[in-house]
Copies of this chain bind each other. A is one copy, B any other.
Amino acid sequence: MDRDRLTAFTDGVLAVIITIMVLEMRPPHGTGLKDLVALWPVFLSYVLSFIYIGIYWNNHHHFFQLVKTVDGAILWANLHLLFWLSVVPFATAWMGENHFAAVPTALYGASLLMAAIAWYVMQLVIIHRQGDASPLRRALGADIKGKISPVIYLIGIALAFFSTIVSDLLYLGVALMWLVPDRRVEAAILASEKAARK
């Protein structure tokens, strides 16, 4: 089955998610600088979520260059991921509107956690389907970032009830960790292209 329609649909959903989040940033009623500045928690939440969706798109882009064919299981694993990412705007709005209150901050972490789990499941499904010679498995290696992230989200969720600023810094830290381009996959793509050219 064709991979391109899966990636095109994913791009469409992520493009809508990343853009409708800004609809939650309602223009303030007043017109003073003060009214604008009061929106800072909404804006910061939006920035963080924009970066997260950007990271997922980026990684999706990378991964699926190592996935040439897809089947029903991969389609659904991908839709499962998109589902949890589609919950992120909801969690973002709740957290931003309530100045990083405890439960909204925990929910935000939970939406990231679920997306991370969905990503991991998708990875497993693809590797299982690619079999022993899976180029994705070789590219992932120990996949330390993928294993650490859910743990940090969990800590962030738990700490939200004590100090939401620590939670937010943890969420930000994971984002920064992933912002560094995934050299493992880039190297594997180059290697497989080299092999193909021979």
Report B-chain residues with C-beta under 8 Å of the C-beta of A82.
18
* Interface, chain A (partner B; CB < 8 A): 1-2, 5-9, 11-20, 22-23, 25, 27-28, 31-33, 35-36, 47, 50, 54, 57-58, 61-62, 65, 71-73, 75-76, 79, 82-83, 86-87, 89-90, 93-94, 97-98, 101-104, 107, 179, 181-182, 186, 189
On whether the beta carbons of B18 and A20 are closer than 8 Å, the reply is no
On whether the beta carbons of A23 and B20 are closer than 8 Å, the reply is yes
Main SS class of interface, A = helix
CB distance from A190 to the nearest CB of B (A): 10
On whether the beta carbons of B103 and A181 are closer than 8 Å, the reply is no
Report B-chain residues with C-beta under 8 Å of the C-beta of A2.
61, 65
CB distance from A176 to the nearest CB of B (A): 12
CB distance from A70 to the nearest CB of B (A): 9
CA distance A149 to B1 in the complex (A): 26
Which B residue sits closest to A79, measured CB to CB? B54
Report B-chain residues with C-beta under 8 Å of the C-beta of A72.
58, 181-182, 186
On whether the beta carbons of A36 and B103 are closer than 8 Å, the reply is yes
On whether the beta carbons of B103 and A1 are closer than 8 Å, the reply is no
CB distance from A134 to the nearest CB of B (A): 20
On whether the beta carbons of A9 and B57 are closer than 8 Å, the reply is yes
Q: Name the contact of A20 in the complex, choosing from B19, B27, B75, B102 (C-beta under 8 A).
A: B19
